Amino acid sequence: MHWQSTLFSKLIASVLIVLTSTITFAQDGKMYPIEAPQEPGAIPLNTGGVDNQPEQESWFRQWGDPMARNISKATLTPFLADPAKATGTSVIVAPGGGFMWLSMGNEGWEVAQALAARGINAFVLKYRLQPTAGTLEAFEAQMNQRFAEAAKQSDDKTPPKRPRGNLENQLEDVEAAYALIKSRAKEWNVDMKRIGMMGFSAGAGLTMATTLQSKKVSLAFIAPIYGGMDAVEVPKNAPPLFVAIAVDDFLFHGETGLIKSWYDAKIPVEFHLYQNGGHGFGLGNPDRTSNKWFDAFMYWLEVNKLLKP
């Protein structure tokens, strides 16, 4: 039952193969097209497609990380902890990308591997996205425009709000992922009373939407990482909340309404505000205080008795 280590090795190897020919440019911000990597172990969720989606799923590399866009078929990839140290605690991992692409390496596979190494089953959710331009050049223009608008909003000191659009497809994908994990809980050594969800950026928004809206998903804890921080109406059965974000993240703006919402609801909340780290730091970037958030998260789980088998 050590197939999860082999799975991750094959997955990363497939990504590295397609990057090798242009590795010199691996760390710059330009988008480079790559072949879709193999995703061993990815399980189709069969939740349907995306309306008005004429383009096929495609992949690119930016900042050295593999990204996917025009996703119209959702999948779930398990990264199961070694049974010798598995705790039964499990996490659905939702990468970010503004619901227009997914940062599959930085906010998906790498995070899942780190969780599995600590005895936590991780399940990377590749959820459906909004349609984007057919060519990478046109898509890059779309993104540059979006970033310019975000920068203008930042200059205006207007705190960005969490996604308010139609997330019906994405919520269906989360619910299907949860149902699949439940159906195979015994096989995968999952304790359904200790399953949580972690999301990054847009994935943090999806984590919050699941918590606030879904009637089919019951989570023991949630960890929205560098997501929207505005206040929400907290359900009575809301789970404990762990939040990490950096001061220099364009989504922060000094807004802590989300934390106060949980505090006022008298539900456990842990909040880590880091001096620097920017947006999209994943497990961490060099020389940033935000690099310690994952260790803090693990200790939070330990104190809350979620790391005992």
For residue 296, pLDDT over 90 is answered with yes
What is the share, in percent, of the chain residues with pLDDT greater than 70? 85
Give the span between the Cα atoms of 122 and 108, in whole angstroms.
9
Does the CA dihedral 114-116-120-125 come out positive or negative? positive
For residue 19, pLDDT over 50 is answered with no
Instruction: Output 123 or 141, whichever has higher pLDDT.
Output: 123
- Structural tokens at position 217: 């998903």
For residue 217, give the amino acid letter: V
For residue 298, pLDDT over 90 is answered with yes
Mean pLDDT, all residues of the chain:
88
What CATH number belongs to 3-303? 3.40.50.1820
pLDDT at 150: 65
Strands of 13-172, DSSP E: 32-34, 43-44, 58-62, 65-69, 75-79, 90-94, 101-103, 121-126
Residue 47 confidence class, pLDDT cut points 50, 70, 90: very high
19 and 26 Cβ atoms separated by less than 8 Å: yes
For residue 128, pLDDT over 70 is answered with yes
For residue 23, pLDDT over 60 is answered with no
Collapse the DSSP code of 303 into the 3-class scheme (helix H, G, I; strand E, B; otherwise coil) and give the result: helix
pLDDT at 142: 85
pLDDT tens column, 73-125: 999 999 999 999 999 999 999 999 999 999 999 999 999 999 999 999 999 99
**How is the chain split into domains, by residue range?**
3-303
For residue 309, pLDDT over 50 is answered with yes
The verdict on pTM exceeding 0.85 is yes
For residue 265, pLDDT over 60 is answered with yes
pLDDT at 16: 33
pLDDT tens column, 196-209: 999 999 999 999 99
Give the span between the Cα atoms of 227 and 212, in whole angstroms.
15
CA atoms within 13 A on the CB side of 209: 25
pLDDT at 146: 76
Closest CA to 251 of 276, 227, 273: 227
pLDDT at 17: 31
pLDDT at 27: 53
What is the share, in percent, of the chain residues with pLDDT greater than 90? 75
What b/e readout covers 236-251, taking b as 16+ CB neighbours within 10 angstroms? eebbbbbbbbbeebbb
pLDDT at 29: 80
pLDDT at 153: 65
Read off the pLDDT of each residue in 40-62 and give the average, rounded to a whole number.
Answer: 93
Q: Is 231 buried (19+), middle (13-18) or exposed (0-12) by CB count in 10 A?
A: middle
Read off the pLDDT of each residue in 135-151 and give the average, rounded to a whole number.
Answer: 82
pLDDT at 161: 56
Compute how many other C-beta atoms are within 10 angstroms of the C-beta atom of residue 161.
12
Closest CA to 109 of 90, 126, 129: 126
Rounded (5°) CA angle 174-225-252: 125
